[in-house]
Amino acid sequence: MKTERKPQHVLVTGAAGFIGSHVAERLLARGDRVLGLDNLNDYYDPALKQARLRRLEGSPGFRFVRLDLADRTGMAELFATERFDGVIHLAAQAGVRYSITHPNAYLDSNLTGFGHVLEGCRAQGVAHLVYASSSSVYGGNTKMPFAETDAVDHPVSLYAATKKANELMAHTYSHLYGFPTTGLRFFTVYGPWGRPDMAYHLFTRAILAGEPISVFNHGDMRRDFTYIDDITEGVLRVLDKPATPERMGAAPYRVFNIGNSEPVQLLDFIRCIENALGKAAVRQLLPMQPGDVPATYASTQALRDWVGFAPSTPLAEGIGNFVRWYRAYYRCA
Ligand SMILES: NC(=O)c1ccc[n+]([C@@H]2O[C@H](COP(=O)([O-])OP(=O)(O)OC[C@H]3O[C@@H](n4cnc5c(N)ncnc54)[C@H](O)[C@@H]3O)[C@@H](O)[C@H]2O)c1
């Protein structure tokens, strides 16, 4: 006999962001209520964040609060006035390259802000906190594919260091206060409504404008590109299965990779975008950027064992969907 799922009240931080807006949409579609939080900062065009929010605001189960994670009083008040069945924490200062020039944004949002989320969850005994970590925690790891059991003690950007710090902080709270936390190490996420600072977005814009694209490390890079619908599917499945201790006496704490597990050469990735656009790129070959890593490749066995799912959308399909959205959103032919 099928039992009815009780609708949940879920806090989604970063709800105006790329991944957060998709996750909120999926939660609303299955009947959950969502409180979306975002500070709508201008790291990239806030109009895109507002447009993502407008799509959510049509849904009766959605409410939005504009708040900065680093605002200790505001965050404490939020957790004091709302009761959440689950928290999906996706707000953060993202981007590896920006962390070289703007370290404070990462300290404020990703460390202080993350601490405030943990404190809020502790204060109200939230049933499960799911939060975004990143493949960047693997740093210059050369053992492929990257597995959750690999040592990740040598980050090569402050962004990566804050994400690893989040995992350590979450473990401490799970250990001390017994509430379940699950970290998801996202591997380069792409798709409709995607981030304008990411390579696929920059490449698409430049190719359509007939401008050269910057190809770092002379194209000798491999990335595990993960389609947004696979990410949202994984996030919801993980939310519905609160972390349990891995062994007797351990904390209810888990960390999983979530990636396509099929790394693609950067030059093949560019060819895929060219095919979808029907237009060739002008390539400008450049050296490796500081903070970047040459390859990412996710082992997803642990995720599959835990929730019976791992990403698998083929790149050509996902890029095709992205390009269709891009043309419609930016009204270009
Ligand atoms: N997109 C990827 O490829 C990728 C890969 C690895 C990890 N991640 C992580 O996934 C999460 C979501 O990423 P995304 O691609 O959707 O990024 P995004 O920048 O589109 O979304 C993040 C949102 O958080 C908000 N935000 C940032 N700082 C805030 C603060 N101090 N207070 C309140 N809101 C704040 C931003 O305004 C933004 O809307 C982030 O934690 C990111 O680090 C993303």
* pLDDT per residue as tens digits for the range 194-228: 999 999 999 999 999 999 999 999 999 999 999 99
Distance 112 CA to ligand 1 centre (A): 15
In a domain, 266, yes or no: no
Looking from the CA of residue 38, the nearest atom of ligand 1 is 34
- Give mean pLDDT, residues 115-130: 97
> What are the helix (H) ranges across 210-259?
228-239
Looking from the CA of residue 113, the nearest atom of ligand 1 is 31
In a domain, 271, yes or no: no
Whether the CA torsion 228, 233, 234, 240 is positive or negative: it is positive
Amino acid found at 104: N
CB of 264 closer than 8 Å to CB of 315 = yes
Looking from the CA of residue 46, the nearest atom of ligand 1 is 37
- Tokens standing for residue 164: 């690893």
Helix (H) or strand (E) holding 157: none
Chain position carrying tokens 């990239």: 44
Beta strands in 127-223 (DSSP E): 129-134, 181-186, 189-190, 212-215, 222-223
Chain position carrying tokens 């888990």: 254
Tell me the β-bridge partners of 12: 36, 88
- Give mean pLDDT, residues 282-304: 93
The predicted structure's pLDDT at residue 4: 75
- Give mean pLDDT, residues 268-279: 97
Ligand 1, residues 55, 67, 189, 201: which to mutate, most atoms within 8 A of Cβ? 189
Ligand 1, atom 10: closest residue by C-alpha: 132
Tell me the β-bridge partners of 10: 34, 86
Distance 87 CA to ligand 1 centre (A): 15
Chain position carrying tokens 């019976």: 308
CA triple 47-48-50, angle to 5 deg: 65
How many structural domains comprise the chain? 1
Give the span between the Cα atoms of 93 and 44, in whole angstroms.
11
Whether residue 317 has pLDDT greater than 60:
yes
> Domain of 123: which CATH number?
3.40.50.720
Burial class (CB in 10 A: 0-12, 13-18, 19+), 278: exposed
Closest CA to 178 of 122, 118, 241: 122
Closest CA to 232 of 34, 2, 5, 93: 34
Ligand 1, residues 23, 68, 88, 134: which to mutate, most atoms within 8 A of Cβ? 134
Amino acid found at 190: Y
Average pLDDT, rounded, for the chain:
96
- Give mean pLDDT, residues 122-140: 96
In a domain, 88, yes or no: yes
Mapping DSSP to helix (H, G, I), strand (E, B) and coil, where does residue 330 land? coil
Whether residue 108 has pLDDT greater than 90:
yes
26-30, 142-146, 241-245, 290-294: least confident range: 290-294
CB of 17 closer than 8 Å to CB of 41 = no
In a domain, 160, yes or no: yes
Pocket lined around ligand 1, Cβ cut-off 6 Å: 14, 16-20, 38-41, 49, 68-70, 90-94, 109, 113, 132, 134, 186, 188-189, 195
In a domain, 152, yes or no: yes
What is the β-pairing status of strands 181-186 and 222-223? unpaired
Ligand 1, residues 35, 39, 112, 166: which to mutate, most atoms within 8 A of Cβ? 39
Looking from the CA of residue 40, the nearest atom of ligand 1 is 37
Give the span between the Cα atoms of 332 and 270, in whole angstroms.
19
In a domain, 183, yes or no: yes
Give the span between the Cα atoms of 205 and 45, in whole angstroms.
14
- Tokens standing for residue 315: 């790149």
CB atoms closer than 10 angstroms to residue 255: 20
Which residues are within 8 A (CB) of 73 and not within 5 positions of it... i.e. 6 or more apart? none
Q: Which of 138, 159, 173, 200 is catalytic?
A: 159
CB of 64 closer than 8 Å to CB of 36 = yes
- Give mean pLDDT, residues 270-290: 95
- Give mean pLDDT, residues 23-31: 98
**Residue 73 lies in domain:** 9-188+228-261+296-313
Which residues are within 8 A (CB) of 245 and not within 5 positions of it... i.e. 6 or more apart? 251, 252, 253
pTM: 0.97
Distance 41 CA to ligand 1 centre (A): 10
CB of 23 closer than 8 Å to CB of 86 = no
Looking from the CA of residue 67, the nearest atom of ligand 1 is 33
| 44 a catalytic residue | no
In a domain, 182, yes or no: yes
Distance 110 CA to ligand 1 centre (A): 10
In a domain, 250, yes or no: yes
The band of 43, judged by pLDDT with boundaries at 50, 70 and 90, is very high
CB of 36 closer than 8 Å to CB of 245 = no
Distance 230 CA to ligand 1 centre (A): 17
Give the span between the Cα atoms of 188 and 186, in whole angstroms.
6
The predicted structure's pLDDT at residue 140: 84
Distance 91 CA to ligand 1 centre (A): 4
Distance 248 CA to ligand 1 centre (A): 34
Whether residue 333 has pLDDT greater than 70:
no
